[in-house]
Amino acid sequence: MKIQSLLKTTAAIALLATTAAGTAMAQDKTMRVRVNADIRSTDPGVNRDANSDAIVLHMVEGLVGYKDDASIAPLLAKSVDMSPDGKTYTFKLRDGLKFSNGEPLTSADVLSSWQRYVDPKTAWRCLKDVTGSGVANVTNVAAPDVATVVFTLEKPTSLFLATIARTDCGGTGIYHKSSLDAQGKWVKPIGTGPFMLQEWRSGQYVQLAANPNYVSPGGERTGYVGDKTPKIAATRFMVIPDDAAAKAALYSGDIDVLSDVNNADVEELSGSDKLKVDKVASMGLTSLLFQTRDPLLKDVRIRKALLLSLDIAQISEALTNGQSPANLSVIPVPSPYSGKLQKEIPARNLDEAKKLLADAGYKGQPIKWLATKFYPSLFDAAVLVQAMAQEAGINIEIETLDWATLLDRYTAGNYSAMSFTYSARLDPSLSYDMVSGSKDKSPNKVWDNPEGLKLIAETTTIGDAKERQALFDKLEGMIRADVPLIPLYSGTRIGAVRANVEGYKTWPVGYPRMWGVSFAQGK
């Protein structure tokens, strides 16, 4: 079966950015981008963090990639065919692909990269997700010719393409064999992306140069696919840990791009004629979590009373400085699966909350609420919840922890209630998976509903969007009835650039993308 949605970004005639064309458009001036910490490595999906992913994905590309709306489209592949039984994926590689060292990319490079990814010694982030412990089990990969790669799965899953496109997997980027030394040790990425590694000064910056051998697929620049032709000679990712220092550097011109602006700074930055601000709804989740095995909160009536005691819209407004709408669903607002049910926000109802508490026999016992000031919004959320819940007669005591301790308590399931934040998940099945599961096996999971877990598993085997939406709608009703958590908002990604920077776009994942970005002529 042809996956038609994957072909929309590829034109019948691909536009190729050759060495001469790419170099001609690049300007000599280096564009400087702030990152809040140094990268961990340049090995895709290995010893990584968010900054590592963001920078590495300028240098390597996978067979497929994410678009702005979190749908999947071809990247190194020009087409993807899925067999009727959903177990076989055939990728046809684009014509004329080259690595940054000028060598042609063939199916053999895809095979060698994959073999290293699935070698446990590599410690690839997403190994379990493609070897049977996660969403897929790839049983065979073959290359019938130089331009064709065939992946065979043990059983069908709608998440296979989404998994190999994941940013934390390094996009399952394909790299040339010279990325490794003679002993098989990682050296640096020799990929097909729009940039290549020029210099890494640990703790100071990572500088990338435009790849003179980059070959564009043409099409709209969206997410990590489409035309990614570099329009600058180099980009320098500068390590500036302090937010205030980063903002000052943007004002002074010491950096050109600040990719993650604090909500509280938006109004100020927007008022400057030196800067331009761009924002978009994100795919993350800020939420209130309940331990459903807690002696008190195991009673769903108390959890429902807590929900009804809160003005979710007002809380979201306050926590985000009006930058993010309330979202009571684990499915983020930008997702194509965020439908009518997902967007419903229940009204505050103190009378009903008090009735539920009386029915549950609640007599003002204290509920210990964990928070952290490492992310100020999580502490502020606890304060707002405490004040609103008190009006319904709910007694909340806030305990403030450092982020590492809070994360440990979350992982162990050792809490009654807490404020928490999840990073972006780009498919609703993964959004549900991050909060759902057996508490006996994974204490960090908040929703342990056997019927819900079966439905979540079913969503991973279905490719039809309407069928998946129906399942997600059913799950929405179930999780709201159980109230194991109260999502507050998906968040907003906000970027700011100097006035002379053109073409920079923020996207829901929040990573800076420096292809297609340039300095205005004469500025």
CATH number at residue 224: 3.40.190.10
What are the backbone angles phi and psi of residue 166, rounded to the nearest 5°? -55, 140
94 neighbors 217 (Cβ within 8 angstroms) = yes
pLDDT digits (tens, 9 = 90+) for 11-37: 332 333 333 333 344 445 899 999 988
Give the pLDDT of residue 23: 37
Residue 280 lies in a domain: no
Co-location of 257 and 320 in the same domain: no
pLDDT tier, 55 (very low <50, low <70, confident <90, very high otherwise): very high
438 neighbors 445 (Cβ within 8 angstroms) = yes
Residue 17 lies in a domain: no
Give the pLDDT of residue 12: 34
422 neighbors 288 (Cβ within 8 angstroms) = no
Co-location of 67 and 159 in the same domain: yes
**For range 223-228, the mean pLDDT:** 96
Residue 273 lies in a domain: no
Cβ count near 138 (within 10 Å): 19
Helix (H) or strand (E) holding 232: strand 232-239
Is pLDDT above 60 for 436?
yes
Stronger pLDDT, 502 or 20, i.e. the higher one: 502
Among 195, 62, 198, 199, smallest CA distance to 124 is for 62
For the chain, what percent of residues have pLDDT higher than 70? 94
Give the pLDDT of residue 284: 86
Give the pLDDT of residue 523: 57
The SS3 call for residue 416 is coil
Helices and strands in the chain, H and E counts? 16, 20
Give the pLDDT of residue 491: 87
Residue 432 lies in a domain: yes
Residue 276 lies in a domain: no
Give the pLDDT of residue 375: 85
Amino acid at 216: S
pLDDT digits (tens, 9 = 90+) for 456-478: 999 988 878 899 999 999 999 99
For the chain, the average pLDDT equals 92
Residue 18 lies in a domain: no
Co-location of 306 and 450 in the same domain: yes
- The Cα 276–Cα 269 span in angstroms is 8
Co-location of 332 and 425 in the same domain: yes
Co-location of 467 and 499 in the same domain: no
Give the pLDDT of residue 186: 98
Domain span holding position 357: 285-490
Most confident range, picked from 250-259, 318-327, 463-472, 514-523: 250-259
Co-location of 486 and 499 in the same domain: no
- Give the number of C-alpha atoms closer than 13 A to the C-alpha of residue 53, restricted to the C-beta side: 18
pLDDT tier, 258 (very low <50, low <70, confident <90, very high otherwise): very high
Amino acid at 411: T
pLDDT digits (tens, 9 = 90+) for 438-453: 999 889 999 999 999 9
Co-location of 342 and 486 in the same domain: yes
- The Cα 299–Cα 365 span in angstroms is 13
pLDDT tier, 9 (very low <50, low <70, confident <90, very high otherwise): very low
274: left (phi over 0), alpha (psi -120 to 50) or beta: alpha
Co-location of 160 and 214 in the same domain: yes
Number of domain units in the chain: 2
End-to-end C-alpha distance for the chain, whole angstroms: 51
Residue 16 lies in a domain: no
Co-location of 189 and 315 in the same domain: no
pLDDT digits (tens, 9 = 90+) for 116-164: 999 999 999 999 989 988 789 999 999 999 999 999 999 999 899 999 9
Co-location of 138 and 211 in the same domain: yes
Among 452, 176, 487, smallest CA distance to 316 is for 487
pLDDT tier, 423 (very low <50, low <70, confident <90, very high otherwise): confident
Co-location of 435 and 509 in the same domain: no
pLDDT tier, 374 (very low <50, low <70, confident <90, very high otherwise): confident
Give the pLDDT of residue 50: 84
**For range 67-71, the mean pLDDT:** 85
For the chain, what percent of residues have pLDDT higher than 90? 80
Co-location of 426 and 504 in the same domain: no
**For range 338-346, the mean pLDDT:** 95
Residue 411 lies in a domain: yes
CATH number at residue 403: 3.10.105.10
